[in-house]
Structure 1
């Protein structure tokens, strides 16, 4: 198969991954799946298992009291033993893995095996097909309170404030659960001290940050700093008094430290030792797994009797400090905890957070909590102060620097003046939804350290090694945050975007759900208890996603709109620098480049005829644009600034950069001499044509009712002082470019030599696909006619270019199919062209 034995094609043209047991709709999605974390991880695990099987033997017949160490010592005579895996429940069989296949062959060739008088049965390990087994559903007795039970509890409350308090009481850990976790931490501390003298087990995360819930993981930090000092002291003592040192430090010779030097050992080596201690010495612990390649290496484990899952890290001091920060915030104001609990549960119900498999494009609880704290920092007056303000209130003894990051803040809430904000929980919850319903996620970076949203342009030009002195003082690490649709900086590790895993879809869902919640919070159903016993307050707010439709039926079908979001990560460095230099006007400059790319997709990739709206069309146009036609294809009206009146030229030189400044200058000169009016009439469909007899003469600006704006212009765009940038085109489609495109692409790739095949999903490949479709229709006739209006939304809107389509005469009913194809194709191709900007 083209993609290997793991992939098979279904009769309907889709693909099925046997390894991950998932279906994907098309080839592009399949390529993304094969590069994804889940498939890569399962492939790695399967390769490891297969390698283990080729060097392992199955052993049985030994006594139940036989230990793994005894088996390892016995089979060591045949070759180095890498690991012994024993059935811990019954203790009647084991797998012995050799470091080399020679040891395996030697053990199998030996005629008789005997250990402590017992005859051993040794045979090759059975090779089984690797299968992915999804995680079992959580035990119902340990699951969170159901919405039905919670709803009954909440409806009995007298106010929304009381409902939020009851949410906390329903989900927080009970005193008995806290005691059980504390006992497990004590047990782990006792065991690990035997192997790592003077170490410390420090809990952090959900269990102790005051935002705990039932069944949350037990996150632990193994602090080995004192152990390293202990080991160095013992080594020094041993060198000075060889064999005569009677201090307690000599215990290290009998501990696990005798086999490793912590000062030089790699994290992976230390994690393997931690996993070995958990696996062999802690009662009740099972499913131990060391993840050395994760962003933060960790050892995962489960405790059978307690039904707990836990993590142990060895280099995560910042997470411990973050936990202390969240503890401080919740103790500064009693409204913080109820607000966080309510919003976390709301986000889980709306499928915005709480991915059961970890990772993925959903928001984690830590990022969601930071959003709540940032909102509280921006109330008037603030409920919680900014981190920089907290730093000023800390004393010298509380100064803390971890890995170069300033993590200073007071240890006790008494050092922080109480908030003068008197809003109740009901008002704050409604304010949270209104705040983020209007927040400019794509154009801002949320900074809890400064307590304000920073413009994304200030991060676009930051390269490693090119920071200014002020940046170095605040951001000592050479890294800059990975920008994405949502940017939330960690309060201390300023290079970490805690929401960096989110994609555009999640961001749009977050905004939409906030808008819906904000609208509901303005109703009496939210603010007042129902006298008839109906659901009210938080109950209706917690209705799961999909249970109620958003907006009136058919609303989506009435608007033929495609959005292209602002994504700084895909732009070349030179363009990022330009946007950074543009400051508050960066959206207009970005809109210019996006419009260039959009018209190029229609004209060059899909072979449409594209002309400025209102200009006369040439008779008999066949869709093949001449060099002259490639000049001016659209115009934009905007406020002064950036380059005065922005006009668009979308020739190939404009997309790729051409001859640089000289080429750009000629384009602007041509545009300034060829203005095209793009104003809309009141209907929003008819365009005012430019008088073609007056070439180069600008039409007078309309006034009064003629300056009617489109419905979307009622919302704030860009800046309060700027008007939106818009552009309009008239397009003719000559071929069914959406029909059988996948098959044509597949046949085209097969017909081309491997060395000359275009990159999958590239502009070059899609252009050739269109040309192949066009060749099958030698006599081109006008298939579809439509107009296209583009405008950029910013400020309190999600920064994006919105493309509004208005179909012309479509008696054959083809436009809906074409538009459905464009919804995924147009943003993808536009992004590809933006990546090539110079």
Structure 2
């Protein structure tokens, strides 16, 4: 295939300049060029080019000139298909003709005059076609320009002073707060005309003491009093009482909608209409009725301010009060939050430029800081349960059946005995989360400590919520969405505020915490440079460097493949077993993963075992034991968990001698109270051999097999049967390797001080053909996907 101008050859394959993607090989390149995205962008580029050739740039007309005026004037040169005007940036317009010769005729005329003014008509600017980013800023360079701030930070005398300067630089100023208050007052006056006795309540960053210059104005439209007013008005109308003209006129405002029966979408549509037609300066009004919390988004032109209005978000208002209280309890919280937010923004861990996405939001980051301060020794901030016990009877608050009680004033809370300065606390934050097991833990600010993931692995009906022991039990059965990072809302305990985070973001967050923790140990962080070099927060805020690829090369030399623990993709039976295992869930999960890995090598990739440990034999029988009544039975009548740990110092739990040797061991709740050895079982070892290049050309063989079968296409590694047939086809058709490929695999489970995962280390012991490196590159992506597919299959 001849390469076109959009395709560039690279050292690792090809690069498409049109779609901005890398392509590894020529078969994939052919698929990409024929794909929908590439073809769509080709058509779009051709359309844009035609529009540029058919258009002229016009300026010099009066500000009150309409599109119709321009269309009528330029119609003398030919049919005008569109007129685009932008009066915000200046008085100009783009006039698009139906044919390019019409544009040429308009440009050929030397003078143009409209409404007594001479028009300037020029060719439309030719711009290079680029794939537009979703956000307003360049997605490749989202870091904030910090040149001025860095200069001020370098002049500071300590890290503590630097952190205070960060707050001073980004916090909302008094004049900005006043402007927002005036807009809230304006909206209150307007909406009161349509919804009598309603209240506009600001919440979020604008009022929670953590706002920055560009933060949105989040508003809650409280219609409870309006519903009472409407019900009273209808009652009066039915009885014939209070039929004053004024009362009837007020009632007529709400006559088109019944708030007691209207859906949120209907109410929000009315809110959007009021914003468009009755609030000066408001534009770009958009209703998002299908969001988790339906909202109306808007912008204010003169104030350059974006805002949201919701009608069912009382919990968010209460969360705002909680953050205000935490700021008042300890003054160190605000500098920490501002600093860590800026650090996360610079490291591309937070600050979604294109709306919702797999990055941390500011609220989740703030909760992570508060949770860290709850776990200092001594604690800087109390847990939510401790705050609840400090509240008086009048401060009791239940919202949507969630207990949201805490003191209204910070002076009620005893001051912390922790006297650490900001510099030490910031260092401690990175240390705390660099050793945090996110995948197997749930962050609970209500309890003030980590909750094990196994508490949330049972079915929704069996979930025990952390608040049930200390507060009213919400009449809900839904559990929080378990993801690679789990941070429970302090009050809405079935909401994971980090539920949008994927595994990559979680790994990046931990990696950046590790790098920051190492840097904070150096003198460059702790002491001001005497030579005028950057120090302290300046180096901490530096954007990610190109050091990533080098560390990746080091990882490749070690030849490791990790299979992370993902609670959200496990089948319900396995989730129930892990929940019963409690703290020993890692041993059971490790045995399951070992069984899946063995199946991938032996049954899917047709590798032959050279030597196996007893533990490996146990893992081979795991699936069969599960299918035979889910009894976890093995040849020596031990449970799989016990067998995986047999090579350890001691068995976690002895088999009852009275049961006899023929009795199978059943996984029961009483038997899951295991000691620490269950959490970290001994490693498993395999030695495998391979005669065929089963990793070469798999995608093409897979496509050919799918064409001749009725099975639907799934991602590579998404179906055990298909991948097994692909391997078998390669074995039958391709030539064998000239010499046997032999390699060893060591498997161990890690967790506790790092995210729970199974680490597989590969060691080629016989590779005269020099093909193992290619095999390993294939396994890096294939093995985790395939093992996850096997684990995710429904069990008997």
Shorter-normalised TM-score: what interval? 0.7 to 0.9
Superposed CA deviations along residues 297-325 of structure 1, whole A, max 9, x for unmatched, are 01111111211111111101101100110
Equivalence for 1:799? 756
**SS in structure 1 opposite 2:219?**
strand
Residue 269 of structure 1 pairs with residue 266 of structure 2? yes
- Per the alignment, do residues 135 and 831 of structure 1 end up closer, same or farther by CA in structure 2, a change over 3 Å counting? closer
- Summarize the Cα distance change of 1:14–1:245 in structure 2 as closer, same or farther, 3 Å threshold: farther
Select 1:747's aligned residue among 687, 701, 704: 704
Q: Match for residue 732 of structure 2?
A: 775
Partner of 1:489: 488
Equivalent runs, 1:178-189 vs 2, <5 Å:
178-189=177-188
- Matched with 1:335 is 332
Change (3 A) 1:25 1:89: same
Equivalent-residue separation in structure 1 for 2:615 and 2:692 (angstroms): 20
SS in 2 for 1:220: strand
**Structure 1 equivalent of residue 629 of structure 2:** 660
SS at match of 2:255: helix
Q: Distance in 2 between matches of 1:281 and 1:467?
A: 48
Q: Let me know the Cα RMSD of the aligned residues.
A: 3.8
Moved more, 763-772 or 526-535: 763-772
Seen in structure 2, the aligned counterparts of structure 1 residues 767 and 807 have a Cα distance that, compared at 3 Å, is same
Give, in angstroms, the shift of residue 350 of structure 1: 1.1
User: Residues 793 and 369 (structure 1 numbering): CA distance in 2 closer, same or farther, change over 3 Å?
Assistant: same
Query: What's the CA shift for 1:594?
Result: 0.4
Q: Structure 2 vs 1, CA of residues 720 and 328 (structure 1 numbering), >3 Å: closer, same or farther?
A: farther
**Superposed, which structure 2 residues align to 1:637-656 within 5 Å?**
647-650=618-621, 653-654=624-625
- Supply the distance in 1 between the matched residues of 2:688 and 2:392 (Cα, whole angstroms): 67
State the match for 1:502 in structure 2: 501
Partner of residue 73, structure 1: none
Where does 1:244-393 land on structure 2 (aligned, <5 Å)?
A: 245-246=243-244, 248-255=246-253, 257-393=254-390
1:517 — aligned with what? 516
Secondary structure of the residue aligned to 2:688 is: strand
| Cα deviation 1:501-558 (Å, max 9, x = unaligned) | 1111111111111111111111111111111111111111111122555987952232
Do 2:203 and 2:320's aligned partners in 1 also have CA atoms closer than 8 Å?
Answer: yes
Distance 1:673 1:533, change over 3 A: closer
Residue ranges of structure 1 left out of the alignment (5+ in a row): 1-7, 34-38, 43-63, 67-85, 91-130, 615-631, 636-646, 680-717
Distance apart, 1:173 and its partner CA: 1.3
Note the C-alpha offset of 1:837: 5.4
Contact 1:611–1:633 (CA<8 Å) still a contact in 2?
Answer: no
Aligned to 1:736: 693
Deviations 1:400-429 (A, max 9, x none): 110010000011101111111100000000
Q: Distance in 2 between matches of 1:291 and 1:675?
A: 51
Whether the 8 Å CA contact 1:460–1:576 is kept in 2: the answer is yes
Structure-2 separation of matches of 1:835 and 1:594: 11
1:720 is displaced (CA, Å) by 8.3
- The answer to whether 1:415 aligns with 2:412 is yes
For 1:161 and 1:670, locate their aligned partners in 2 and report how far apart those are by CA, in whole Å: 55
Displacement of 1:791: 0.2
Partners of 1:16 and 1:327 lie apart in 2 by 49
Measure how far apart 1:475 and its partner are: 4.4
Contact 1:375 1:432 in 2 (8 A): yes
Q: Residue 441 of structure 2 aligns with which residue?
A: 444
- How far does the alpha carbon of each residue in 1:720-755 deviate from its partner, in whole angstroms, 9 at most, with x for none? 896543100001122222222211111111122x36
Residues 9 and 282 of structure 1: CA distance in aligned 2, closer, same or farther (over 3 Å): farther
Deviations 1:79-112 (A, max 9, x none): xxxxxxx99989xxxxxxxxxxxxxxxxxxxxxx
Per-residue deviation, 1:175: 1.6
Separation (CA, whole Å) in 2 of partners of 1:390 and 1:670: 45
Distance 1:633 1:736, change over 3 A: farther
Give the C-alpha shift of residue 144 in structure 1.
9.2
Correspondence for 1:214:
213
Pairing partner for 1:815 from 747, 772, 781: 772
Q: Is the counterpart of residue 561 in structure 1 residue 560 in structure 2?
A: yes
Question: What SS class does the counterpart of residue 461 from structure 2 fall into?
Answer: coil
1:836 aligned onto 2:796: no
8 Å CA contact 2:220–2:313 kept in 1: the answer is: yes
**Cα separation, 1, equivalents of 2:639 and 2:583:** 27
**CA spacing shift, 1:432–1:755, aligned 2, 3 Å:** closer
- Structure 1 pair 479–249 and aligned structure 2 pair: CA distance change class (3 A): farther
- How much does 1:478 deviate? 1.8
Residues 449-460 of structure 1 aligned to structure 2 (within 5 Å): 449-460=446-457
- Secondary structure of 1:318's partner? helix
Q: Secondary structure at the match of 1:832?
A: helix
Contact 2:346/2:543, CA 8 A, preserved across alignment: yes
Structure 1 residues 283 and 213: alpha-carbon distance in aligned structure 2, compared to 1, 3 A threshold = same
Measured in 2, the distance between the counterparts of 1:145 and 1:825 equals 37
Name the CA distance, whole Å, in 1 between partners of 2:472 and 2:177. 40
1:515-664 correspondence to structure 2 within 5 Å = 515-546=514-545, 548=547, 554-613=553-612, 634=616, 647-650=618-621, 653-654=624-625, 657-661=626-630, 664=633
Which whole-Å deviations, capped at 9, do the CAs of 1:460-507 have from their partners, x for residues lacking one? Answer: 124236659759944442211111111110000000011111111111
- CA distance in 1 between counterparts of 2:164 and 2:416 reads 20
Q: Partner of 1:397: helix, strand, or coil?
A: helix
1:241 equivalent to 2:240? Answer: yes
CA distance in 2, matches of 1:147, 1:274: 39
Matched with 1:397 is 394
SS in 1 for 2:420: coil
| SS class of match (2:248) | helix
Q: Is the 8 A contact 1:678 1:727 kept in 2?
A: no
Q: Contact 2:622–2:632 (CA<8 Å) still a contact in 1?
A: no
| Distance apart, 1:672 and its partner CA | 12
Match of 1:430 in 2: 427
Q: Distance in 2 between matches of 1:304 and 1:327?
A: 29
Write the distance in 1 (CA, Å) between the matches of 2:537 and 2:179. Answer: 32
Q: 1:553 and 1:499, CA in 2 relative to 1: closer, same or farther beyond 3 A?
A: closer
Measure the CA separation in 2 of the matches of 1:471 and 1:831.
38
In the superposition, relative to structure 1, how do residues 444 and 145 fare at CA in structure 2: closer, same or farther (>3 Å)? closer
Measured in 2, the distance between the counterparts of 1:452 and 1:812 equals 53
Contiguous gaps of at least 5 residues in structure 2: 1-5, 41-63, 67-83, 89-129, 649-674
**8 Å CA contact retained: 2:693, 2:736:** no
Q: 1:526 to 1:598 in 2, by over 3 A?
A: same
Q: Deviations over 1:674-703 (max 9, x none)?
A: 999989xxxxxxxxxxxxxxxxxxxxxxxx
State the distance in 1 between where 2:564 and 2:267 align: 44
Aligned to 1:112: none
The CA deviation string for residues 743-774 of structure 1, in whole angstroms up to 9 with x for no partner, is 1111111122x368789721111112112211
Q: Contact (CA 8 Å) 1:588, 1:725: kept in 2 or not? A: no
SS of residue in 2 equivalent to 1:494: coil
2: CA distance, partners of 1:15 / 1:276: 47
